[in-house]
Structure 1
Amino acid sequence: MNTTLIWAAAAALTLAACGRSEPAADAGVAEPSSRTLAASLDDNDDLDSLEAVVEAAGLQTVLEGVGPYTIFAPTDAAFTAVGGAPGEDEKAQGATLVRAHIVPGVVTRADISAALDRAADGKVTLRTMDDGVLTFTREGQTIRATAADGAAAALTGTETAASNGVIQPIDGVLVKGG
């Protein structure tokens, strides 16, 4: 396992255990709002498909809870590119898809970038809520996430800090066939 992952996870959990829910003032992230991840998804018009999947999978209450979580959130265009998001009748598939895009803790782009700067092999891994692994690399100024099955996406748009985590928009779906 990548030692960067272990240290990043330990740092995130330590900060969460200390009750620190706000990123450092110099982290380059907007101050978290009083709105939850669920409400922040609702506020973002480019994440309507993901919001619908979260609701259909019955995971909205999780994203209204304590957290913290980081959601690598496929945009509506990302879902369109793979033929659409799972529908309401595909609750299990939707829940699997959502869990494959969430990691515990608050992970900002600055955190990922700093970890990549320190990584000897140029890779950083994070474990998802479905026990999968996302591997992050840098291509120029672009940070890419790749799932174990090869599905990949670039971090895009603006991250959103919420009261219980952060939303990182991505331009792909990190589950093949998802």
Structure 2
Amino acid sequence: MNRRIALKGIAALGFAGALAACTPMTSTPDIVDIAASNDDFSTLVAAVQAAGLVDTLKSDGPFTVFAPTNAAFAALPAGTVETLLKPENKDQLVQILTYHVVPGAITSDQLAGQRLNVATVQGDTVHVDGTNGVKVNKSNVTSADIIASNGVIHVIDAVLLPK
């Protein structure tokens, strides 16, 4: 009797294990998926789409993205965002957006106590100051280390503009 109960228990565990193996694994979302799921990044997501950078930011990376919020875009001079989103300004939009992206996954603990000039995907460098919080050029990192499957996002309070 105990043997039969034990065998049934083992069989049930084996079945449950096999069923669990068939269940799709939930994975960490990528940079674009994280941004798209957060209403504070709707302007950034629209800009990434208009610039044709979605596939790039969904690729393996890794990337570090300094992600401006909607409020950061709203602080630009009136009409700037609308102008940048026009198809004829795609090249300029790409230059601005890729200035927010650094190759590699850099977390805030790697920046702590450091002052660095870091090369962006756009080609210029951004100045990162991690001595009192983290600043990128003149923007403040307001939320750090949002980990994505293909990198890390740091939320910033201003749009970075290349020189």
Scaled by the length of structure 1, what TM-score is found? Answer: 0.68
* Structure 2 unaligned residues grouped into runs of 5+: 1-26
After superposition, the CA RMSD in angstroms is: 1.8
Of the three residues 36, 46, 50, the one matched with 1:42 is: 36
| Whole-Å separation in 2 of the counterparts to 1:158 and 1:143 | 9
Aligned-residue sequence identity (percent) comes to 32
| Whole-Å separation in 1 of the counterparts to 2:105 and 2:130 | 20
Which deviations, in whole Å up to 9, do the C-alpha atoms of 1:79-102 show, x marking residues without a partner?
Answer: 110135321422112111111000
Seen in structure 2, the aligned counterparts of structure 1 residues 63 and 176 have a Cα distance that, compared at 3 Å, is: closer
Highest Rg: 1 or 2? 2
SS of the residue 1:156 aligns to: strand
Larger RCO: 1 or 2 (CA < 8 Å, sep 6+): 1
Count of aligned pairs between the two proteins: 132
| Whole-Å separation in 2 of the counterparts to 1:175 and 1:77 | 16
Of the three residues 82, 85, 100, the one matched with 1:87 is: 85
Q: Contact 1:37/1:162 (CA < 8 Å) preserved in 2? A: yes
Where is the helix percentage greater, Structure 1 or Structure 2?
2
* Structure 1 unaligned residues grouped into runs of 5+: 1-32, 117-122, 147-151
SS of the residue 1:124 aligns to: strand
Seen in structure 2, the aligned counterparts of structure 1 residues 139 and 80 have a Cα distance that, compared at 3 Å, is: farther
| Whole-Å separation in 2 of the counterparts to 1:88 and 1:38 | 21
